[in-house]
Structure 1
Amino acid sequence: MPGSPDETYRPLLFSIAYGMTGSVGDAEDIVQDAFLGLTRARQAGTVIADPKAYLTTAVTRLGINHMRSARVRRETYVGDWLPEPVVVPADKPGPAEHAELADSLSMAFLVLLEALKPVERAVFMLREVFGYGYADVARITGKSEVNCRQIFARARRRVAADSPVLGGVVPGRRAEGEEFARRFFEAAAGGDMDALLDMLAPDVVFRGDGGGKAQTITRPIPGRREVARLLVVALRRAGNQGASIRPAQVNGGPGAVLHDADGRVLVVVEMDVADGKVQTIRTVANPDKLGHLGPVSDLARLPEPN
């Protein structure tokens, strides 16, 4: 119920559900289902002594069930899979509905979590990201505390094998990231190769998610000059078609949203920045992953197969 004390838990619940699914729409559905379950339990006369614990448990278990069914779909996904972006416009930096997410779950981190099984993902995320104790993790997941410790240790080894750095962005550097993003996209849109090359790490990688439904690269592109040329060509083409770039926070880090001439969402760009250099660029163009941001452009959409 809007305005009820239970609503204060919604940002946390969304963050857990989004961390489990990587999907804004699915996360919102899971959270709504959890609240519906709470309402039904109360209507049936059940006394819920700790609504936060009830909702957290419901969201986590719904997320585990969702991931079990989603794994088959992920295995047949066309090209790179990236999470649905959570975007906060740079010109609207006030409190966001999903504020607890911004400093916790970057796109890079969510991609790493894809290597984990659903229960491993839940245990690892509750412990690593949200700081739950093992007793609480055990209660939420329905596993023993000893088992949760084993699951966490195993999951952490698997994630660390792919990345020695665990976690999301550094909140204190967000303003710096926004200014960096503004200069970066100005250089790219203006074709300033020297400025662009200076901001890209030598081993930078460009990744794109079109899901087989939008025009984008089908494999990662490594290398500073290759990525710079790709950006300049892509943004020049988009600019010639009337597209505009608006800097934004994307999953708590620097990025931008491209809109077509009619203001519809064309693509979302997210960047990993370290030591003043862009390490990775990720673009989400799959129209199925952009609908929560507003009307989606047809400019990059591929024709439906006959």
Structure 2
Amino acid sequence: MAGPTDVAEAAGYRPLLFSIAYGMTGSVGDAEDLVQDTFLNLTRAEQAGTTVTNLKAYLTTSVTRLGINHLDSARVRRERYVGEWLPEPVVAFAERPDDAPAEHAELADSLSMAFLLMLEALSPVERAVFLLREALGYGYPEVARLTGKSEANCRQILARARKHLAAGANAPADSAADSAAAPGRRAEGDELARRFFEVADGGDLSQLLGLLAPDVVFHGDGGGKGQSVGKAVTGLERVLRVLAFGFERNRELGITRRLALVNGRPGAVSYDPQGRVVSVLELHVVDGAIRALHAVSNPDKLAHLGEVSDLGLRQRPRER
């Protein structure tokens, strides 16, 4: 590479690189670090005399392999994590979605929390192949180049990953390739979210019966620090009890919310009376019903959204 315009060209790939890195790690901070490391690797390669003829191929290959290496080293940390692990939420506020950071722009249609949670069942290489092929739409030749595997091997890896996911408890009814971002489905999800949060603000809880699927699941991630259920809660009756307790507590503590797109799905960010972030909730809508709710209250996973409240740390969570 040579010439001053290459810097601008490289920067133009940052949203794509962030999408790959975030899809691999489920962490905003780790994804940003991997993207930065990718650009550092490019600089070092050029300084060492390497000629990069295909900038996009070089950068995407670098970030993919960094992501695989990162997951290999992160396994032990995940195994020691307190409670259920959920991805760090990527938020764009519903009334001004274009205000989301530019590097987050390509996430809206592909990387829901349900999808990323599902990917936790895969090995790092399986995750990379599945992510690139199913979520980001790469062909097998590109997937092979990015991962350093043969095309035939990538096909085998993808088939193995699909089997693992089909057998897993976290597999959602849809995938990253669903049409959730199509106008009709997006409008349907937004309407369900509006009605859901109207109930949260003091409506009749019986109205939730028409919004939640019978096999609805509530996932909560407090990381041992924020208020959360200890493990996933499954079934309409049990989830209704969790929601009733949470809605009542929020009203008592003066917690307010701002509607948002969370990983491209309808949701909200909750704030304490001082305007500090308390939690983020994503609603996973499938076939006209809320199939899953993903609530993140771990303060370590909210810091990129602003000052984090200590309100959720004052009492231990419980399920009623």
TM-score bin, normalised by smaller chain: over 0.9
Give me the whole-angstrom Cα distance separating, in 2, the residues matched to 1:54 and 1:95.
Answer: 29
- Give the secondary-structure state (helix, strand or coil) at the position aligned to 2:201: helix
Quick one: which of 11, 20, 42 aligns to 2:46?
A: 42
What is the deviation of 1:95? Answer: 5.9
Summarize the alignment of residues 145-160 of structure 1 with structure 2, pairs less than 5 Å apart: 145-160=151-166
Query: Which range moves more in the overlay, 202-211 or 167-176?
Result: 167-176
Matched, 1:64 2:74: no
Note closer, same or farther for the CA distance 1:175–1:7 as it changes in structure 2 (3 Å cut).
farther
Partner of 1:165: 174
Give me the whole-angstrom Cα distance separating, in 2, the residues matched to 1:302 and 1:129.
Answer: 39
TM-score normalised by the chain length of structure 1? 0.93
Partner of 1:283: 295
Give me the whole-angstrom Cα distance separating, in 1, the residues matched to 2:287 and 2:131.
Answer: 27
What is the deviation of 1:276? Answer: 2.3
TM-score normalised by the chain length of structure 2? 0.89
Unaligned runs of 5+ in 1: none
Partner of 1:21: 25
What is the deviation of 1:29? Answer: 0.6
What is the deviation of 1:2? Answer: 11
Note closer, same or farther for the CA distance 1:302–1:118 as it changes in structure 2 (3 Å cut).
farther
Partner of 1:132: 138
Q: Percent identity?
A: 62
Conserved? CA contact 2:122–2:161, under 8 Å: yes
Partner of 1:270: 282
Give me the whole-angstrom Cα distance separating, in 1, the residues matched to 2:264 and 2:165.
Answer: 20
What is the deviation of 1:161? Answer: 2.9
Give me the whole-angstrom Cα distance separating, in 1, the residues matched to 2:233 and 2:295.
Answer: 12
Partner of 1:107: 113
Residue deviations 1:86-110 (CA, integer Å, cap 9, x gap): 1111121226321211101111111
What is the deviation of 1:281? Answer: 0.9
Amino acid of the residue matched to residue 76 of structure 2?
V
Give me the whole-angstrom Cα distance separating, in 1, the residues matched to 2:127 and 2:214.
Answer: 32
Conserved? CA contact 1:78–1:211, under 8 Å: yes
Conserved? CA contact 1:178–1:248, under 8 Å: no
Note closer, same or farther for the CA distance 1:56–1:275 as it changes in structure 2 (3 Å cut).
same
Amino acid of the residue matched to residue 166 of structure 1?
S
Note closer, same or farther for the CA distance 1:168–1:213 as it changes in structure 2 (3 Å cut).
farther
Give me the whole-angstrom Cα distance separating, in 2, the residues matched to 1:281 and 1:135.
Answer: 36
Give me the whole-angstrom Cα distance separating, in 1, the residues matched to 2:206 and 2:7.
Answer: 52
Amino acid of the residue matched to residue 144 of structure 2?
A
Amino acid of the residue matched to residue 127 of structure 1?
R
Query: Which range moves more in the overlay, 155-164 or 234-243?
Result: 155-164
What is the deviation of 1:39? Answer: 2.1
Give me the whole-angstrom Cα distance separating, in 1, the residues matched to 2:174 and 2:51.
Answer: 43
Give me the whole-angstrom Cα distance separating, in 2, the residues matched to 1:13 and 1:133.
Answer: 17
Query: Which range moves more in the overlay, 21-30 or 184-193?
Result: 184-193
What is the deviation of 1:120? Answer: 1.2
Give me the whole-angstrom Cα distance separating, in 2, the residues matched to 1:165 and 1:180.
Answer: 18
Note closer, same or farther for the CA distance 1:228–1:80 as it changes in structure 2 (3 Å cut).
same
CA-atom RMSD in angstroms: 1.9
Note closer, same or farther for the CA distance 1:48–1:297 as it changes in structure 2 (3 Å cut).
same
Number of corresponding residues: 303
- Give the secondary-structure state (helix, strand or coil) at the position aligned to 2:307: coil
Amino acid of the residue matched to residue 165 of structure 1?
D
Partner of 2:248: 236
- Give the secondary-structure state (helix, strand or coil) at the position aligned to 1:300: helix
Give me the whole-angstrom Cα distance separating, in 2, the residues matched to 1:108 and 1:274.
Answer: 11
Conserved? CA contact 2:92–2:99, under 8 Å: no
- Give the secondary-structure state (helix, strand or coil) at the position aligned to 2:75: helix
What is the deviation of 1:77? Answer: 1.2
What is the deviation of 1:142? Answer: 1.5
Query: Which range moves more in the overlay, 198-207 or 30-39?
Result: 198-207
Conserved? CA contact 1:188–1:228, under 8 Å: no
